[in-house]
Chains A and B, each alone.
Chain A
C-alpha cells in the first residue's frame, strides 16, 4: 500500500530564516505530487505541483520554491521566511492518468516568529 511521509511535523522559525520541508511517497511510482498550505481555520491553497522529476509548476507567486530531485521526493523551500508563511503545509500525491484520488501527508505545522 502507499504511504506518504512529511517532516518535520512541527517547526518554529524566525523571520528571515531559511526553510526546507520534505515529503516522500512509498509504494507507488511516478506519482503526481502537490504542496498545499492551510492558514489557521482556512481552506487549502495549492502552492506547487509536479508531474515528474524536475518538473515543477507554481500556482501562486510567493517567496517559496519547490523541487523534485527524485521520483518520490518533493521538497518545499524558502530562502527567507515571512510571518505570512506560517501555516499547515500539506503534501499530497495522486496517481497518473485516470487515477484522480489525492491523498495527503500528515502535514508540517510551521510557525514563523
Chain B
C-alpha cells in the first residue's frame, strides 16, 4: 500500500519568514495530493491541492510543488503570520471505486511573532 513520509515533524519560524514542509510517497499510482491545515481541536481543512499532471500550484501565500519522478511534493508558505500556526498534513490519493487517501504524520508549525 501507499506510504507517505512527512518532514519535519515540528517547525518554528519567525513571523514574515517562509516555511517549507516536505512529503514523499511510494505508490506511483497516486495522482492527487492535498494539504490540510488543522488548528487545535478543529477539523482538518483543505488548503491547497495538486494533481499529478501539474508541477506547481499557487494560491496567494501558499504554494505546492510536485515532482512525480522523485515522488515528492512540498508545501511552501511565504510571509508567515501567527495565524498560520497549526498542524499541517500532506496526503497522497489513489482513485478507483473510492478515493483512498494516505496521510502523512503531520508537521506542527509555530510562527513566532
Residues on A lying within 8 angstroms of B by beta carbon are 32, 34, 42-44, 46, 49, 51, 90, 94, 98, 100-107, 109
By a beta-carbon cutoff of 8 Å, the part of chain B in contact with chain A is 32, 34, 41-46, 49, 51, 89, 93, 95, 97-101, 103-106
CA distance A51 to B98 in the complex (A): 6
Contact B89 A44 (CB under 8 A): yes
Q: Is the CB of A100 within 8 A of B93?
A: yes
**Which A residues are in CB contact (< 8 Å) with B99?**
32, 94, 100, 102
Can you offer 16 A-B residue contacts whose CB atoms are under 8 A?
A: A34-B101, A43-B89, A43-B104, A44-B44, A44-B89, A49-B100, A94-B98, A94-B99, A98-B95, A100-B49, A100-B51, A100-B99, A102-B34, A104-B44, A106-B43, A109-B41
